[in-house]
Amino acid sequence: MTTLPAKTDKKLGLVIDLDTCVGCHACVISCKGWNTENYGAPLSDQNAYGADNSGTFLNRVHSYEVQPPGDAAAQLIHFPKSCLHCEDAPCVTVCPTGASYKRVEDGIVLVNESNCIGCGLCAWACPYGARELDQAEGVMKKCTLCVDRIYNENLPEEDRQPACVRTCPAGARHFGDLGDENSDVSKLVAERGGMDLMPEQGTKPVNKYLPPRPKDEMPEFDVLAPFLEPVAEEPKGFLGWLDKTLEKL
Amino acid sequence: MNQPVIDLSPKVSDEVRKTTCYMCACRCGINVHMKDGKVAYIEGNKDHPVNRGVLCAKGSAGIMQVNAPSRLRKPLKRVGERGSGEFEEIEWDEALQIAADWLEPVRQSNPEKLAFFTGRDQSQSFTSFWAQNFGTPNYAAHGGFCSVNMAAAGIYTMGGAFWEFGQPDWDHTKLFMLFGVAEDHDSNPIKMGIGKIKARGARVIGVNPIRTGYNAVADDWVGITPGTDGLFILAMIHCLMKAGKIDLHYLAQYTNAPVLVINNPGGADHGLLMRDENGKELVIDRATGKLTPFDQPGVKPDLAATYEKDGQTHRPVFHQMAEMYLDEQYTPENVADRCGIPAKRIRAIAAELARVAFEEAFTLDHEWTDFRGEKHAQMIGRPVSFHSMRGISAHANGFQTCRALHTLQILLGTVEVPGGFRFKPPYPKPATAHPKPHVGLTPGAPLNGPHLGFTHGPEDLALKEDGTPARIDKAFTWENPMSSHGLMHMVISNAYAGDPYKIDVLFMYMANMSWNSTMNTRGVIDMLTDKDENGDYVIPKIIYSDAYSSEMVAYSDLILPDTTYLERHDCISLLDRPICEADAAADAIRWPVIEPDRDVKGFQSMLCELGAKLNLPGFVKEDGSQKYADYGDYIVNHERRPGIGPLAGFRGENGDQAGRGAVNPKQLDQYIANGGFFVEHIPAGSNYYKPWNMAYQDWAVNIGIYDKPTPYLFSLYVEPLRKFQLAAEGHGDRQPPDHLRARIKDTMSPLPIWYSSEEDNHAADYPVTALTQRPMAMYHSWGSQNAWLRQLHGHNPLYVPTRLMRENNLSDGDWAKVTSPHGEITVPVLEMAALNDNTIWTWNAIGKRKGAWALEENAPEATRGFLLNHLIHELLPPKGDGLRWANSDPITGQAAWFDLKVRIEKAAAPAESQPGFAPIKSPVGQGPKDLTWKVGT
């Protein structure tokens, strides 16, 4: 049993825009690259060139088809998912060794790999499936919010953000302090109706998702009809109209 | 509570080396972080004009590409039968000697016996220069099976197309409409643009039978029936013209809409544009009512006025357009069923285009002067933009469909205006400013000019004196008169058939022709391995260069292993397909940020050596010694015209000249110091209305893009098409064969038309369309060797719409037999609802041959992955006329991949996807079992 801090100074997290995520997996691979080379053990791959290949990822994109009611066209929503750095993180409280912890200064949930015994309880406790046991190292891996980038004095200031945010081509990922209501990310959440993932779990996730805008809602032609009012019914009439219009030019 | 102390500022790398990605054709700037001399991490370069720091999954997985176990290690000489994969490793001296021994006699006797095709080459200005010096007419890259329809239609119509030719005005556009864009083409710039415009609430409309990727985030999805985009576009043109919602001023001033068309029924000039003695198109001036060349100062061309002469009434192009497109056949009601889009929806989209283009028009306060000398105080913006690529190109009606789309943009007045579509230097560049095709060969000497170009009439066709095709791929012949990118997909079958002639050496680069880069894969494998009555291979000698153990390796006789993209020099050149932006000219380099750990040579460096060995004029000094030590040396020292070289940046002795300037020996160092690229911005006020804006024209001359200002009119009416029609009607000395006359007359309309290829593909018996898309996280077949990317796309299900799933009693995980007139495959299916209900599709190039790419033989790419290519033939099914017609666009020869018609039915689950192929022996073994990658300590 590991305790959570009563309060954190900041609530650093991600805001992910489901309206613009095109499902390209740039964030997935950029994360894999950074975190293979950096924090803790490398993210390993098994059967890398064979059947049943698998590997450790801290961030994955799932795609869901949505069928709206009625005869509206089906939609495809791309849904990137990584640790949500919950305020009431069940993965921390379940940890028997204290390896999982939530940082007091910024709320990032981390695994201290040297204390992790790979028991998997945290993965079981996490309702989001955001933790993966690395098969080579036998320790639990999870999103670090690139804790080794965001404060890294060896990086230019503009690069001090998680790898997934820096690389996202569609600009669908945002990073900041969700505990500060004046931060850009908090304002974005307020403007766009940002949502918690599975709030009923009571985990109080810090990461927020911006919902897709309504789709296939172009006004009916009746509304737009004035923009296509014919100038004449026949080609000859059209050319007559053209003559008159050209005079005005 | 005690938190562990962690290092928040670990060292990121020893050094950052900035170069250009090559994980697709976007050519983003990358920062390669090095540790201990090894690649540790790759991220986007924030200063780079293409990607501004972002990077896709492919680019971010580059480390797995440069370390892929499938990399070839040493030159290989085939020792077993073709296809066996039996090779012997040889030294480079021997490899180049073999190549020279094969090529030298060809060059001295008949250079056309070499077919040199370079696939997904990004150095075409160099490889074509090599081929030209060799003297063979048989050179092209992969455009003919990719998107030549888009490129050629754009250049003939308006002097440029999409992607590397231009881009939407992302800063101002309010309505962005995508037609037939799969997940790439292009990649990061489109994602960045969509993100940017959605953030400010612009509307995105996606027209695509499949709702994935960009179409998944589109506000409105139009799940069109494949192959009917042209009809849908012409219906919108009908609505817009009928409502007068077209930009008459723009059409009159900047297009050939007011140009008079000669009316002389039965005459050899009927339908040509009326010109003066200097060849200038003639219009009626609204002010004077007189006939005048279009470009005179103060002329206001009249769209309506006709001209009477010799008892004939000559009408402007615009009259013909009105007559043609106001016709009932193009009403939304008359096309709705065929397109699978309700008439009301077609009208609503047309109305929305009209509303945004005209009601939301705006101005930018930039003064500019047009080519007639008229000064404009402002620039009018129309915030509607379009983008499109292979989805509408890869059909037999693709050229005319692409023309229709460009016509729609032009009618709305949205090309090269604020908020619309904008060209990127060196475009705009009209077809007339491009070379014509050259096929004049002389044994032992260079070809008489560039291979590829634009034909403007029958006189430009690449025919021999006896009328037979001069090129092995039959490009620029009556079968496909405007095949500007060549027809790489026809080379092997033509060479095998000896039609138009036999060749001796097939030399290819980066083209997986025995697998995913060809139609009729099984048939092509047979052609590559078949022997004649003497026991010799029908295609006698095959040289292939690739960095990786692709399926094509086993079918080649001599393998010249290339480097990976981080081990080589390259130039992303203004002479070729540069990385310019609408506001800037830009080019870039690759440079060896790591040295190869294998005995390989960059393909282009190898060609410098081989070219010298063959004594090719452009590759030897006067004393006969090798002129360019390697490709880097060529990039710096080659001059195409005095002062113009492969790279535009850092020219002149001090490296301070842009565009034009003397050779600078330190040029590459200066590129590297600048982040691997060079940018020269177009001054404000010059950066819109470029084809007609004299400030832009002068800037372009200054930087070396043009030698003189080249303003021109957009060609709504493409006169060269009419010239081919006239020939088909019997006019002129050069005449098409009789069996092609009707087709040329029917398809080569000078105004865009739409026609169906369903009957040719037996749609009555094969009612379902089958398509492919390339996933965003894969590039062609390369992703399969990438340990990270293949976890995203390790196999490719066949996506089947709900209706066809139910009708065929299919459930996810079942297998289905898919049959086309040409062949059948049996593959696993997965239901998809967000899909046109008569279309099935899969990801392209995921399926792999056992033994290729250093994968284990039971890899899912080989057991469950598959290719649709087995269902597609390079020829149409027989029509019963005794002839076999190509499965391609009759104008450009573009491979009509997306015309594929099939039947689908449930099948018993086989052990593996069918057809199965025997494993090929890997020349590089297999990759390691597990990876725990970390280069730093």
* H helices present in A103-161, as ranges: 121-125, 147-150
Q: Examine the pLDDT at B322 and tell me if it is beyond 80.
A: yes
Which residues in chain B are contacts of A232 at CB distance < 8 A?
Answer: 242
Which residue of A4, A21, A24 to mutate against B (max B Cβ within 10 Å)? A24
Burial of B835 (0-12, 13-18, 19+ CB in 10 A): buried
**Which residues in chain B (419-458) have CB-CB distances under 8 A to chain A?**
none
The pair of structure tokens assigned to A60 is 């994955």
The DSSP call for residue B852 is G
CA distance B910 to chain A (A): 17
Q: Is B69 on the interface with A (CB under 8 A)?
A: yes
| Of B117, B920, B91, B89, the residue nearest B545 (C-alpha) | B117
**Which residues in chain A (93-152) have CB-CB distances under 8 A to chain B?**
101, 103-104, 110, 112, 114-115, 136-137, 147-148, 151-152
Residue of B nearest to A107 (CA): B3
End-to-end CA distance of chain B, in Å?
30
Q: Helix B317-325 crosses helix B229-242 at what angle (to 10 degrees)?
A: 110
Nearest 5°: phi and psi at B221? -115, 130
Instruction: Flag residues of chain A having pLDDT under 70.
Output: 1
* Spatial distance between the Cα atoms of A191 and B752, rounded to a whole number of angstroms: 45
- Alpha carbon A242 to its chain's center: 53
* Spatial distance between the Cα atoms of B301 and B689, rounded to a whole number of angstroms: 18
Which residues in chain B are contacts of A29 at CB distance < 8 A?
Answer: 57-58, 60-61, 777, 788-789
* Spatial distance between the Cα atoms of B664 and B655, rounded to a whole number of angstroms: 6
- Give the max Cα distance, chain B: 101
Q: Examine the pLDDT at B937 and tell me if it is beyond 90.
A: no
Closest by Cβ to B61, choosing from A29, A147, A241: A29
The DSSP call for residue B301 is B
pLDDT digits (tens, 9 = 90+) for B139-173: 999 888 888 999 999 999 999 999 889 999 999 99
Q: Which residue has the tokens 């994968």?
A: B855
Please report the pLDDT score of residue B1 as a whole number.
55
pTM above 0.90, yes or no: yes
**Which residues in chain A (42-61) have CB-CB distances under 8 A to chain B?**
42, 44-51, 53-55, 57
| Of B9, B818, B849, B256, the residue nearest B512 (C-alpha) | B849
* Spatial distance between the Cα atoms of B687 and B447, rounded to a whole number of angstroms: 38
Mean pLDDT of chain B, nearest integer: 96
Q: Is B14 on the interface with A (CB under 8 A)?
A: no
3-state secondary structure of B217: helix
| Of B776, B782, B777, B138, the residue nearest B517 (C-alpha) | B782
* H helices present in B545-652, as ranges: 603-613, 631-637
**DSSP letters of B669-687?**
HHHHHTTSEEEEEPPTTSS
* Spatial distance between the Cα atoms of A91 and A89, rounded to a whole number of angstroms: 5
Report the 10 Å Cβ neighbour count for B498.
12
* Spatial distance between the Cα atoms of B771 and B215, rounded to a whole number of angstroms: 15
For chain A, give me the number of helices (H) and strands (E)? Answer: 8, 11
* Spatial distance between the Cα atoms of A97 and A113, rounded to a whole number of angstroms: 11
What letter represents residue B287's amino acid? A
Confidence check on the interface: ipTM exceeds 0.95, yes or no: yes
Please report the pLDDT score of residue B696 as a whole number.
97
CB–CB contact A50 B929 (8 Å)? yes
The DSSP call for residue B359 is I
Q: How far is CA B808 from CA A181, B104, B819, B904, in A?
A: 54, 58, 14, 8
CA distance B485 to chain A (A): 30
Is residue B396 within 8 Å of B888, Cβ to Cβ? Answer: yes
Is residue B387 within 8 Å of B162, Cβ to Cβ? Answer: yes
CB–CB contact B188 A245 (8 Å)? no
Report the 10 Å Cβ neighbour count for A181.
10
CB–CB contact B354 A110 (8 Å)? no
**Which residues in chain A (199-238) have CB-CB distances under 8 A to chain B?**
212-213, 215-221, 224-225, 227-232, 234-235, 238
Residue of B nearest to A57 (CA): B788
3-state secondary structure of A149: helix
Which residues in chain A are contacts of B6 at CB distance < 8 A?
Answer: 39, 110, 147-148
Is residue B488 within 8 Å of B519, Cβ to Cβ? Answer: no
3-state secondary structure of B780: coil
**Which residues in chain B (382-401) have CB-CB distances under 8 A to chain A?**
none
* Spatial distance between the Cα atoms of B635 and B667, rounded to a whole number of angstroms: 9
CB–CB contact B219 A169 (8 Å)? no
Strand partners, B293: B282
Tally the C-alpha atoms within 13 A of residue B215's C-alpha that lie toward its C-beta: 27
pLDDT digits (tens, 9 = 90+) for B79-111: 999 999 999 999 999 999 999 999 999 999 999
B667 versus B143: which is more confidently predicted?
B667
pLDDT digits (tens, 9 = 90+) for B385-396: 999 999 999 999
Residue of B nearest to A108 (CA): B3
Q: Is B787 on the interface with A (CB under 8 A)?
A: yes
Q: Can you list the positions of beta strands (E) in A89-136? A: 100-102, 109-111, 132-133
3-state secondary structure of B161: coil
Which residues in chain B are contacts of A172 at CB distance < 8 A?
Answer: 195
Query: How many cross-chain Cβ pairs, A to B, lie less than 8 Å apart?
Result: 315
As a whole number, mean pLDDT of residues B526-538 equals: 97
Nearest 5°: phi and psi at A121? -60, -40
Closest by Cβ to B833, choosing from A47, A65, A219: A65
b/e per residue B845-880 (b: at least 16 CB within 10 A):
bbbbbbbbbbbbbebbbbbbbbbbbbbbbbbbbeee
* Spatial distance between the Cα atoms of B570 and A36, rounded to a whole number of angstroms: 29
pLDDT digits (tens, 9 = 90+) for B421-463: 999 999 999 999 999 999 999 999 999 999 999 999 999 999 9
CB–CB contact B240 A24 (8 Å)? no
- Specify the long-range contacts of residues A151-159, CB closer than 8 Å, at least 24 apart: A151/B8, A151/B9, A152/B8, A152/B9, A152/B10, A152/B12, A153/B9, A154/B9, A154/B10, A154/B11, A154/B12, A155/B12, A158/B46, A159/B46
Residue of A nearest to B795 (CA): A51
Beta strands at B203-207 and B175-179: parallel, antiparallel or unpaired? parallel
Which residues in chain B are contacts of A77 at CB distance < 8 A?
Answer: 216
Report the 10 Å Cβ neighbour count for B284.
24
As a whole number, mean pLDDT of residues B610-637 equals: 98
* Spatial distance between the Cα atoms of B776 and B757, rounded to a whole number of angstroms: 29
| Of B770, B893, B929, the residue nearest B841 (C-alpha) | B770
Counting residues of chain B whose pLDDT is more than 90, the rounded percentage is 95
* Spatial distance between the Cα atoms of B35 and B16, rounded to a whole number of angstroms: 9
Nearest 5°: phi and psi at B672? -60, -45
Q: Examine the pLDDT at B274 and tell me if it is beyond 60.
A: yes
Residue of A nearest to B216 (CA): A76
Q: How far is CA A135 from CA A131, A132, B17, B877, B932, in A?
A: 13, 9, 33, 52, 10
Which residues in chain B are contacts of A3 at CB distance < 8 A?
Answer: 1
| Of B493, B449, B446, B443, the residue nearest B473 (C-alpha) | B493
Q: In what order do the strands lie in the sheet with B38-44?
A: B15-20, B29-35, B38-44
In chain A, the domains with their CATH numbers are 12-210 (3.30.70.20)
Please report the pLDDT score of residue B439 as a whole number.
98
- Alpha carbon B675 to its chain's center: 27
* Spatial distance between the Cα atoms of B526 and B497, rounded to a whole number of angstroms: 12
